Structure 1
């Protein structure tokens, strides 16, 4: 006789699938605890009780870093493809536990802060177009893309960003005060500053490193402010969804940090790096690091796609 699996047990099984790829803060305990699980378990159980898809909201895939020492071009490549295939495979596994399945809503946030990260709106538009084509090519039926354009404000891109800040953002002075107080806000600020600093130091940069660092520190507050505003809009728009993040999150946070690809750098993302295939497995690295190791560039469809690295055995 088959034993009936209680909804709470199935919800826990789904959460385990997600937390197997949890992106944790340095020094944090290695295993999830009840406090880590609680915010997400409630939403999963609610979806199961209503017999509906589990909606997973992930702010991610904004645009490629403009620093070509890190990335190959302004368009998605194999790094994004591997990450998208992973998200679809995760939905496939959830469906075996919960037949209505799950759906990732990729909330592309490039439009939110493109002017602050040095990426033109035209590149953000091209990135989204190619990302949607890639989702279609790999048959990822459980992946949707939502961005600021989909809010349908009927405004220019600059006006969209102004509207977002005016209606959803906290004052930037408040962000500065949080960072000054330390803790998680300071950790996020340092990580964001690092990204902005590295992205500015591309092959064509002619200024000093000190000037680049000052500019990165200044812009980091605005990126954090708008990222939070985007999060507030998404929480309103997708109120019942499980909320995910590509950044490490503290225990008990409303968002769950998730890894999208194998990488030695817990802050690196597909849009800040390249895919390097080593022994048949794709890993994430910065372009300059891949080339320094002697990796071979592979092109697909007339465009640079990824690198292949043969391990040296002695």
Structure 2
């Protein structure tokens, strides 16, 4: 938002700036290649200005998702030849990238995924049948996930040498032949692997990513030549699209994207060269499956029986006779539900010690498909098993539903809420200093009683595990933020408020002892509905207002980032256990329909 006294930029210029901020935030900064994205910005501004001024869709083009890496004896990097959890996360990341642009620009955004299979398949000895099956299943996966900002094409379609997408393996093989003839007709005599930074980066990637060969240098040279011809085809066929890449680059001419939340993929592995692994602490990593000790891990299959992910063997995933599945949520959290053909199980029989451990490792923890008699005493007893219940002026269990008779700011309304953590305004007074101290609870425990079927009403949970790795030059470095405090105030109501607080941005988690982010989204009067909510003032301690506002806006943007925030659509009967120290949460506004949760806080 422009600051007071500053004339607002023209609408097109403002939209272009916002879109550029999203592209910049999603770009991958290589540790091997110097980032020169700022040099590419003028070109992007010109291209985006032309698109936005016409109200057209911002189109990106990404050569990717060719096929799963081939097996090398016992050194298979992946779990099989078809898409799995790794592709699911990558597709959600790309769709979230485009959806972030669609939220602020009416023309929307689309990522066109161009499968490289026909470009490299023969060199890598991948059969047409495997490549065709992979691509078909990839499209089915995107459709089942309702990802609306992705399109799938093959190079031959893009270049116009084939009429449409192949529907059978016979058609696909014919299309592949035509595409390779086109590419081979424009091959360079040779490609100097040192000709520029981006080619150097791709060459280094091939040194470790390509299968074993009798002549590695000739193999790499053939890949580089085919790749250069392919890049020319992309450039000539999609001149109005912004070029994306999955290879490390300097981000000039094309922008390299992270296909996974950075916290899960420190080694920058692509989904077709790796697998999702759930570790013993319930954290998620993208790994080269050939490096995993399979004596310590098991392969988890999806409902269709397809190898889906790896999970470390651990008692955390043994629920005492309950046959349950553990599915990582995107981009954070874990879903626990009865395995297909089993259950439902009684919530009363759930081991809350394991729930606490899982919620500390993978918040929010969602239990779905567990039954409970609608009795508060059962809910209360399970909360006691989780930890010590924290009391409020209204008691222990809050019925979170629209209630105009009880003033709790915007908690008991249908309006949107700011991102926050519970209990920031729950205070005690230090007997010696007289200072008011914030005493937030460690856990939230929710039980959904009624899920509104109307538009909105999502609960967003954002984890510090995903947010902190995104801190950096575009926002503020972690070590600089660690030195700062923020002050906040909201008017007193029947449950909290009335005291100005000064709080650190970064704290040490009370149990896991890792860094965790603390903040409250500023909520000005313009976002409040008269008579039902009050503003929440937030400012960086010691900073002038304009500088503070700019940082608060950047931090708020990170909380809403699709690689940070899990967007939960409630089902009746859902249980959620959330680490209130590790995460922030918010609620989107909703319209008609009854919506109700029970909520209790536990330390």
> Fold match, TM over 0.5?
yes
Deviation at residue 123 of structure 1 after TM alignment: 0.7
The yes-or-no answer on 1:146 pairing with 2:147 is no
Could you say which residue in structure 1 is the equivalent of 2:92? 85
Could you say which residue in structure 1 is the equivalent of 2:12? 7
Deviation at residue 179 of structure 1 after TM alignment: 2.0
Which whole-Å CA distance do the structure 2 matches of 1:33 and 1:186 have between them? 17
Return the TM-score normalized by structure 1: 0.83
The yes-or-no answer on 1:193 pairing with 2:198 is no
The yes-or-no answer on 1:100 pairing with 2:107 is yes
Which whole-Å CA distance do the structure 2 matches of 1:52 and 1:84 have between them? 23
Q: 1:78 to 1:152 in 2, by over 3 A?
A: same
Tell me, yes or no, if the aligned pair for 1:8 and 1:45 is still in contact at 8 Å. Answer: yes
Q: Which has the larger radius of gyration?
A: 2
**Higher share of residues assigned helix:** 1
Which whole-Å CA distance do the structure 1 matches of 2:112 and 2:198 have between them? 26
The yes-or-no answer on 1:70 pairing with 2:70 is no
Which whole-Å CA distance do the structure 2 matches of 1:157 and 1:233 have between them? 15
Q: After superposition, give the CA deviation of every residue in 1:3-61 in whole Å (9 maximum; x if it has no partner).
A: 5663223212212212223223325557x653142332322222111101100100100
**Aligned-partner SS, 2:65:** coil
Gap regions ≥5 residues in structure 1: 201-211
Gap regions ≥5 residues in structure 2: 3-7, 163-173, 317-360, 362-511, 513-603
Which whole-Å CA distance do the structure 2 matches of 1:20 and 1:27 have between them? 19
Could you say which residue in structure 2 is the equivalent of 1:165? 184
The yes-or-no answer on 1:221 pairing with 2:221 is yes
Aligned pairs for 1:1-314 within 5 A: 6-28=11-33, 34-67=38-71, 69-150=76-157, 151=159, 153=161, 155=174, 157-166=176-185, 168-171=186-189, 173=190, 175=191, 178-179=192-193, 183-196=197-210, 199-200=211-212, 212=213, 214-251=214-251, 253-261=252-260, 262-266=264-268, 268-278=269-279, 282-291=284-293, 294-300=296-302, 301-309=304-312
Q: After superposition, give the CA deviation of every residue in 1:164-197 in whole Å (9 maximum; x if it has no partner).
A: 220x4322x2x0xx2266754333222113211x
Figure out how many residues of one structure are paired with residues of the other and give that number. 291
Q: After superposition, give the CA deviation of every residue in 1:116-147 in whole Å (9 maximum; x if it has no partner).
A: 12211111111111011111110111101111
Which whole-Å CA distance do the structure 1 matches of 2:87 and 2:132 have between them? 16
Tell me, yes or no, if the aligned pair for 2:197 and 2:250 is still in contact at 8 Å. Answer: no
**Higher share of residues assigned strand:** 2
**Aligned-partner SS, 1:20:** helix
Tell me, yes or no, if the aligned pair for 2:198 and 2:248 is still in contact at 8 Å. Answer: no
With 288-297 and 237-246 compared, the bigger mean Cα shift is at 288-297
Q: 1:230 to 1:28 in 2, by over 3 A?
A: closer
Which whole-Å CA distance do the structure 2 matches of 1:179 and 1:76 have between them? 31
Query: Which one scores higher on RCO, CA 8 angstroms, separation ≥ 6?
Result: 1
Q: 1:28 to 1:36 in 2, by over 3 A?
A: farther
Could you say which residue in structure 1 is the equivalent of 2:490? none
Return the TM-score normalized by structure 2: 0.45
Deviation at residue 152 of structure 1 after TM alignment: 5.3
Q: 1:101 to 1:115 in 2, by over 3 A?
A: same
**Aligned-partner SS, 1:115:** coil
Q: 1:93 to 1:181 in 2, by over 3 A?
A: closer
**Aligned-partner SS, 1:117:** coil
Could you say which residue in structure 2 is the equivalent of 1:205? none
**Aligned-partner SS, 2:111:** strand
**Aligned-partner SS, 2:265:** coil
Tell me, yes or no, if the aligned pair for 1:57 and 1:244 is still in contact at 8 Å. Answer: yes
